[in-house]
Amino acid sequence: MTEPTGESTQTAACTGTPWEDSDTRPFIELRGLSKQFGVFTAVNNVDLEIYQGELFTILGGSGCGKSTLLRMLAGFERPSAGRILIDGVDVSDMPAYDRPVNMMFQSYAVFPHMSVEQNIAYGLKKEGVARSEIESRVSEMLDLVQLKTLARYKPGKLSGGQQQRVALARALVKRPKVLLLDEPLAALDKKLREQTQFELMNIQDKLGTTFVVVTHDQEEAMTLATRIAVMRTGEFVQIGTPSEVYEYPCNHYVADFFGNINIFEATVVNARDGIVTAELEGTGTLVEANHEGPLARGQKIRIGVRPEKLLINRDEPGTAGHTVTRGVVEDLAYYGNRSIYRVRSGSGRVIEVSTQNYQRSAKLLLEWDDEVYLSWDSSCSVVLTE
Amino acid sequence: MKQRSSTFLYSVLSFGFAFLYLPIFVLMAYSFNDSRLATVWGGFSTRWYRALLENQQILDAALLSLNIAAVSATLATILGTLAGLALNRMGRYRGRTLFTGMIAAPLVMPEVITGLSLLLLFVSLQELIGWPSSRGANTITIAHITFSMAYVAVIVQSRLASMDRSLEEAAMDLGGRPFAVTMDITLPLILPAMASGWLLAFTLSLDDLVIASFTAGAGANTLPMVIYSKVRLGVTPEVNALATLIIAVVSMGVLLAGWNMLRQQRAAVEPRSGAT
């Protein structure tokens, strides 16, 4: 495959963690960005820094303001307040057709009356690029998205996945500084999703273009992103790498948004040197957890533990540093590679446990109504104060 | 039981269609009647068609009608498209529903009222600014534009409403300025709707008797007006021949418009999935 020659601003894809390096200049900066529709505030005073070559994902449920944010970046909505800077240039008042940004729409928005080739060439024609250069750049893109054989087809004859690749090529051929992707995988079936996901990541890696992806699908966000911003009611709840937001969620909302989590009500017994000891409500079991930040004795907190962090045993485990609680298997689901158990603990709470079936057995290792011990390493406890 | 109900349904269907089309077929058959009496069959002949071709009054009227229909359909398509675009694009504002309703009102307005009001308008305009100095082909054309424009606006607007707005946004995102986006994306996509609108406006104008009678002056006689005045003196086979020709032209227009709309609907509903 041919590699398009990048502009001076385009370097290799994001390597390392530029967001931790105070010397790196952010590539996209949102400063106090707000958008109001009448009395409704879609985006509320948001600050964000995205670095060159990142594959940044904005994640949130419907109506959280993520699409409005993306549309402001593209230039379809004018911010009510705040500035947008791209590569050091303030683009807040720049119309969409002048911005160094291109977008891949959720509906793909492939022009139905133009062939695949014409679709891809459209942006270059509007830019006034010479005919010969248009030809070579379009053909490069057709190679990149593997649509060479369909170049003269009208989009109506293409499948959903092929139309999406036309939309991607059409946006990328302009060599934008930033590519915006609105729910890029939402309209594809499961198999095609996985394939397209890797294709997107490969293309991003190859071109080094900064990608900003908006999605409501946490799995999509986790697998694609260098960093994720979790958005809710027009504000960012947490911004971090996929493992940060999964393993160290800042509050209950984020913890719950990414997969399942068991939540225990607890009371702080002791908090010192970043280690919290708390008593689980109902059972009196003592839990240890790592937590920075002030906590007072007697304060009510919540302890979260992911299902896969829990160990389930018939016999009492003796490992030190583990929190142990007892319960009865109420329900179980066997998936082949893993099993999920719902265990009713002494306090009456149902705890979900997910285990890898690393032993080979035709019989179930645990049955309904078995008495079991649940345990987890104290480092796996997440303290949630909100 | 099942057999009987289907017989019943078929007879109802054929009776209904017979009721609708039998008079027209009888008329068409009698246009080939050799006899001068409209109700007595005197053998097959095309002499009334020949007589028609020699009748300068009818030929002039037909030419005038076609002329008015073509001009008014073209202008109505331009104005109606603009109206449809405006209604679709101005976003939500107070009174939008009212305006949408008002653009559709001429569709249900009795023709007599439309004709009378336009006549009054032309007369008072003549008194106030001296234009139009006389009523004739011009005033008929203007009158036809006003009512057929509503049809075009409604057709174009419904096409725009079903169009994906992100197509235009995508074009703008790719560097198209608003005017270029309209020319490159919007117009090609609503072209089938505009064509349907034009054909409909053309046939409506060709059909119209009432509004034309109100707004025509002494000199201008459209084809429906000539037929009407002839029929008042008695039905002649010549009129039958003329009517047959008009039916042929009008049904051709309606069929074309319908086929056109069906085609664009199909294209919108099923973007043939699966590559070949």
- Whichever domain contains A325, its CATH number is 2.40.50.140
Contact between chains at B173 and A102 (C-beta distance less than 8 A) = yes
Which residues does chain B have within 8 Å of residue A105's beta carbon, measured at their own beta carbons? Answer: 166, 169-170
The verdict on residue A5 lying in a domain is no
Give how far Cα B190 sits from Cα of A113, B162, B263, Å. 11, 10, 13
Name the pairing type of β-strands A227-232 and A210-215: unpaired
Instruction: Show the CA angle centred on residue A274, arms to residues A270 and A279, nearest 5°.
Output: 30
pLDDT value of position A104 = 94
What is the per-residue pLDDT across A247-298, written as a single tens digit (0 to 9) for each?
999 888 999 888 889 998 899 998 888 888 888 887 778 888 888 888 888 8
Interface probe, candidates B169, B173, B186, chain A, greatest A C-beta count within 10 A: B173
Lowest mean pLDDT among A4-8, A87-91, A266-270, A374-378: A4-8
Locate the chain B residue with the closest alpha carbon to A167. B170
Nearest neighbour of B188 by CB, restricted to A102, A113, A155:
A113
End-to-end CA distance of chain B: 47
Alpha-carbon separation of residue A238 from A235, A249, A294, B206 (angstroms): 9, 8, 19, 68
> Which A residues, 52 through 81, put their C-beta within 8 Å of a C-beta on chain B?
74-76
Element containing residue B96 per DSSP (H, E): helix B96-108
> Are A153 and B272 inside 8 Å of each other by CB?
no
Q: Are residue A365 and residue A323 in the same domain, yes or no?
A: yes
Same domain for A35 and A180, yes or no, is: yes
A324/A308 Cα distance (integer angstroms): 15
pLDDT for residue A8 is more than 90: no
Are A171 and A265 in the same domain? no
> Residues of A numbered 337-376 whose beta carbons fall under 8 angstroms of chain B's beta carbons: which are they?
none
Distance, in Å, from the CA atom of B130 to the CA atom of B124, rounded to the nearest integer, reads 9
Question: Element (H or E) spanning B253, and its range?
Answer: helix B237-269
Same domain, A141 and A285: no
Number of domains in chain A: 2
- A226, A254, A282: which is the final residue of a domain? A254
β partners of residue A305: A262
| pLDDT value at A92 more than 90 | yes
Which domains, from first to last, does chain B contain? 56-268 (1.10.3720.10)
B139 in Cβ contact with B216 (< 8 Å): yes
Instruction: Identify the CATH number of the domain in which residue A228 sits.
Output: 3.40.50.300
Rounded Cα distance between A170 and A114, Å, is 12
Please give the pLDDT value at position B270: 45
* A312 within a domain of the structure (yes/no): yes
A146 and chain B: CB distance < 8 Å anywhere? no
> Which positions of chain B have pLDDT values less than 70?
1-5, 38, 91-92, 264-265, 267-276
Contact between A156 and B274 using a beta-carbon 8 Å cutoff: no
Q: Which two tokens stand for residue B159?
A: 């096409």
- Give me the interface pTM, i.e. the ipTM: 0.81
CB of B206 within 8 A of CB of B249? yes
Residue A13 maps to a domain: no
pLDDT digits (tens, 9 = 90+) for A49-74: 999 999 999 999 998 999 999 999 99
Indicate whether A245 and A96 sit together in one domain.
yes
pLDDT for res B3: 59
**Mean per-residue pLDDT over chain A, rounded:** 88
Distance CA A27, CA A30 (A): 10
> pLDDT value at position A96?
94
Instruction: Tell me the H-state helices in chain A.
Output: 66-74, 116-127, 131-144, 160-172, 190-207, 218-224, 242-247, 252-257
Return the exposure string of B210-225: e unless at least 16 CB atoms fall within 10 Å of the residue's CB, then b.
Answer: bbbbbbbbeebbbbbb
SS3 content of chain A, % helix, strand, coil (to 5): 25, 35, 40
The verdict on A287 and A208 lying in the same domain is: no
Place of tokens 């009678």: B213
CB contact under 8 A, B173 and A103: yes
Residues of chain A positioned with their CB less than 8 A from the CB of B189: 112-113
Domain that holds residue A229: 18-254
Final residue belonging to a domain, choices A254, A282, A299: A254
pLDDT of residue B274: 38
Interface test with A, best of B166, B169, B174, B264 (most A CBs within 10 A): B174
Q: Quick check: B164 and A162 CB within 8 A?
A: no
Cβ–Cβ < 8 Å for A69, A57: no
Q: State how far the Cα of B243 lies from the Cα of B256, in Å rounded to an integer.
A: 20
Find out whether B216 and B103 touch, Cβ atoms under 8 Å: no
Question: A185 vs chain B: nearest CA distance in angstroms?
Answer: 17
